Amino acid sequence: MKLWVNGALHDAGDALVSVLDHGLTVGDGIFETVKAERGETFALTLHLERLTRSARGLGLPDPDLDEVRRACAAVLEANPMELGRLRITYTGGLSPLGSERGGTGPTLVVALGETGRRPDTTAVITVPWTRNERGALTGLKTTSYAENVVALARARERGASEALFANTVGQLCEGTGSNVFVVVDGRVLTPPVSSGCLAGITRALAVEWTGAEETDLPLEILDSADEIFLTSTLRDIQAVRRTDERELAGAPGPVTAKAMRIFAERAAHDRDPKLG
């Protein structure tokens, strides 16, 4: 396995980042996960646009997107595989042991890991912890991910692949690494970005391609929705067959199945889609 670290490819054993990197010491970093099939990325431009938005939101210098593209291409060429998770990580770089940043500039790491196809359905749970829709990191894809690690571990303990959060005012928000949609009386609904959820790339494409509506939803909608599905880079659109103790018989339901089909067709037709 070869990884890109700060300007060059390295063997995995030699791909080193300093223990004083701000991404390690205080979680001062951002990342993107991009799906790669047989060396071809999906929606890379949209992911890089969000990488820049996250950098600006965190106060990091804008990433050099030409370099990031070169790094992605080099890693993909060096590590051929059928289906991979391409991870772009961009941190505050070498810094003192505190919250302030150093002056050496950011760190860029690009790595690729093999993954498998997701099943059409999955189980989710809700967790008692909340997303802060007014926090400093709201809407940014940062490496400060420990909250998600804890929630996902809870989900795994209960036989689920994802944990869903409400925000501080009890509205449905998002999963640890996914966005959530519900189907109510034939309408496809999803929480707005103002709920505190990440503006997911797959989420945005699903909204545009399926005509889904963004609206505030109570967490309790999970108890009555006709259908529920998740979106993320590696899930694409995935139906929910169980939420907590509630079984959704026949998942994927007809609306979700149609959304899955539309997404697959559109994604196959355009590997670097634009929005709007």
| CA angle (217, 218, 221) in 5-degree steps | 90
Out of 114, 132, 157, a domain closes at 114
The whole-number average pLDDT for the span 95-105 is: 94
Report how many domains make up the chain: 2
How sure is the predictor about 76, in pLDDT bands with cuts at 50, 70 and 90?
very high
CATH number of the domain bearing residue 211? 3.20.10.10
Residue 260 covered by a domain: yes
Q: Name the domain boundary from 92, 114, 136.
A: 114
- Residue 276 domain-assigned? no
CATH number at residue 45: 3.30.470.10
Could you read off the pLDDT of 205-235 as tens digits, one per residue?
A: 999 999 999 999 999 999 999 999 999 999 9
Which residue from 249, 247, 229, 231 is spatially nearest to 239, judged by alpha carbons?
229
Q: Phi and psi at residue 262, in whole multiples of 5°?
A: -60, -45
Share of the chain above pLDDT 70, in %: 100
Summarize pLDDT for 229-257 with one digit per residue, the tens.
999 999 999 999 999 999 999 999 999 99
Give the range of the structural domain holding residue 154, as residue numbers without chain letter.
121-269
Q: What is the pTM of this model?
A: 0.96
Euclidean distance between CA atoms 2 and 12, whole angstroms:
5
Identify whether 275 is part of a domain.
no
Residue 210 domain flag: yes
Whether 93 and 218 map to the same domain: the answer is: no
* DSSP secondary structure letters along 16-35: ---TTBHHHHS--EEEEEEE
Per-residue pLDDT, 135:
96
Average pLDDT over residues 253-264: 98
The angle subtended at Cα 186 by Cα 185 and Cα 187, nearest 5°, is 95
